[in-house]
Structure 1
């Protein structure tokens, strides 16, 4: 009886976890200002595990979540952020970016973009799910993604593009989360936000 109960409980837990990932980007329930980011491990470009909590303890952080190296809008946004990284650093922040892509796919070599800040892979999309910005990858997009990242796999879920400002205690101080993936926060707005938080 106990074994049966445990089995049913586990199945129920799995179903609940799956159900928590919405079908559409408009239906996400994201992390709020004042909440703490979860304790998760990420992978850096050398496939080394990095504790996100320890990472943000180093310095207040501008954390960007992007769909992947396959996304031209994300590549453009990453490039724009790279151009203003020094301004961000002068205000006392570090800049990092996270994608559910495998490490090999974090940057699209065809796009030719290079960034000086740190990029991380979110294995099994643990982080994006835990902060509520994950939704199911549209079936019609899977083929396009696969064509742009032949060395990696296509995840069943993807993130709504997100920007968080996080203090060294791991508390979220600002969020920009837009289900319209073509719309990203402007550089001027980001710098204004960072100045207002100091």
Structure 2
């Protein structure tokens, strides 16, 4: 059963072809499972390797750092400080250590995508390893960069023997908009109310100082369909055929994400 790619339409194919003729400043990625934020340094199992990529495909960390650097010129210093303190508040809860870790049993769930398909996670990992990744929402530029980067690595992930499964708390219609906007072939699965993310221990309450921005400016309730001021970490797991977690990237800093090259190496290790 292949639940990862949706059929590209002619317009999407044309846009993607046109994009290949010019330099793309940022890369995004997605399949369906959302989690957000993570800590400044990943857990030992999720540390970055020194793996380098080609000049045409810069490392995801470089793209994210470029985005963060650009924000310095347009976001006031006091606002940036507030967000930085919020990240530390989330990290201080210990969520990076209390969430599911390498060696833990994965949590099964049945989810549906915006295309109407239904997916049972255990049925997927019984066929072969899966890469389970959460993104916070299409309103998050760092999520979009990661989604595009993961899609660019899709063939390598599949060649290594795994399927990419992306979860998100945003409503199916919003997830479809995210896919269309970023020319993604991946169908994100709806983690309603971040229920699966909660089972993995990935959900945190937004610190009080940043709630107005998420509620009133980013319109989080409109994206997620509820008034909960909470989000999942932008976590990435590799789950082997036995249903065991063999790789985990957990960081409270929403600007840090799992490097695709590291994920691919983790997949290769999982199939050995």
Distance in 1, matches of 2:205 and 2:233, equals 10
The answer to which structure, 1 or 2, has the higher relative contact order (CA under 8 A, 6+ apart) is: 2
Per-residue CA deviation, residues 97-150 of structure 1 (Å, 9 max, x unaligned), is 101111111244598202223310111211000110100134132223317956
CA deviation after TM superposition for structure 1 residue 83, in Å: 0.4
Superposition pairs of residues 1-198 of structure 1, within 5 angstroms: 24-26=89-91, 27=93, 28=95, 29-109=98-178, 112-138=181-207, 139-140=211-212, 141-146=214-219, 149=222, 152-197=225-270, 198=272
Distance of 1:54 and 1:150 partners within structure 2 = 29
Shift of 1:153: 4.3
- Partners of 2:164 and 2:179 lie apart in 1 by 23
Instruction: Label 1:42 to 1:188 Cα distance change in 2 as closer, same or farther (>3 A).
Output: same
Q: Distance in 2 between matches of 1:94 and 1:167?
A: 11
SS at match of 1:75: helix
1:20-40 CA deviation, whole Å, 9 max, x = no partner? xxxx53121210111112232
Q: TM-score, structure 2 length as denominator?
A: 0.58
Distance 1:175 1:110, change over 3 A: closer
* TM-score normalised by L of structure 1: 0.78
Is the 8 Å Cα contact of residues 215 and 221 (structure 2) preserved in structure 1? Answer: no
Q: Deviations over 1:58-104 (max 9, x none)?
A: 32101111111221100110000000100111100111110111111
* 149 and 109 in structure 1: CA distance in 2 versus 1, 3 angstrom threshold: farther
For 2:131 and 2:220, how far apart are their aligned partners in 1?
30
Q: What is the root-mean-square deviation of aligned Cα atoms in Å?
A: 2.6
Aligned residue pairs, count: 176
Indicate the structure with greater strand content.
1
